[in-house]
């Protein structure tokens, strides 16, 4: 039986990377973001997934309204990215990423799974709408292509 939680929200945004580092060091930077996210989100009851491809982040956050809004406010102030663009904020009945305090999808998983299924190769996250980013992250997490680490 699903226990409905009051005031549950899903928020989707994309942003542009501001960290100027070679790809190998980006992995380290993303690991730092994930480690902080997993601790903070676990504490706040926020779940979701993050994707990074070609300089663009896409993220889904879900959880109680106050916790999601507080987390997103903090994320927007982070100087590691800019152009933070809110795409969607919707009440939901249940979580889609219940097992992920913050799952991560890198370019490799994206190409190996999503691009094969959709035949889309010149992939730009910032051209997608909120629902498309949500569905893409859901597909990739269901395919177990998501790792907690950025490796
Ligand atoms: C693309 C991106 C996604 C992030 N996602 C989260 C997140 O889901 N949860 C979180 O707490 N911090 C996230 N952060 C980090 C926050 O911006 C901020 O640095 C952090 O929450 C500060 O936590 P602290 O006060 O515990 O150091 C993200 C940062 C970036 C650049």
Positions of E strands within 25-80: 47-53, 56-64
pLDDT in tens, 102-143: 888 887 777 777 777 777 667 789 999 999 999 999 988 776
Ligand 1 mean position, distance from CA 75 (Å): 5
Protein fold of 8-142: Alpha-Beta Plaits (3.30.70)
Domain boundaries, the chain: 8-142
Residue 59 beta carbon below 6 angstroms from any ligand 1 atom: yes
Q: Give the three-state DSSP class for 77.
A: coil
Residue 78 beta carbon below 6 angstroms from any ligand 1 atom: yes
Q: Residue 10: which of 122, 85, 94, 92 has the closest Cα? A: 92
pLDDT in tens, 9-33: 999 999 999 998 877 778 889 999 9
Residue located nearest, by CA, to atom 23 of ligand 1: 36
Phi, psi of 141 (to 5 degrees): -70, -40
Residue located nearest, by CA, to atom 27 of ligand 1: 36
Structure tokens at 106: 């890198």
Residue 13 beta carbon below 6 angstroms from any ligand 1 atom: no
Q: Residue 67: which of 86, 90, 101, 44 has the closest Cα? A: 44
């Amino acid at each position: 039986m699903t226990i409905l939680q009051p005031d549950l929200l899903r928020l989707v945004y994309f942003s542009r990377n501001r960290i100027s580092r070679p790809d190998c060091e980006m992995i380290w930077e993303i690991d730092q973001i994930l480690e902080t996210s997993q601790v903070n989100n676990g504490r706040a009851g926020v779940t979701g997934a993050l994707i990074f491809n070609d300089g663009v982040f896409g993220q889904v956050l879900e959880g109680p309204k106050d916790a999601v809004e507080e987390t997103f406010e903090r994320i927007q102030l982070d100087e590691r990215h800019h152009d933070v663009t809110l795409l969607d904020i919707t009440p939901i009945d249940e979580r889609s990423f219940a097992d992920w305090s913050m799952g991560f999808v890198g370019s490799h998983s994206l190409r190996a799974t999503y691009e094969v299924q959709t035949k889309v190769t010149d992939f730009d996250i910032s051209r997608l709408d909120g629902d498309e980013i949500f569905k893409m992250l859901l597909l990739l997490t269901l395919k177990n292509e998501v790792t907690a680490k950025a490796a």
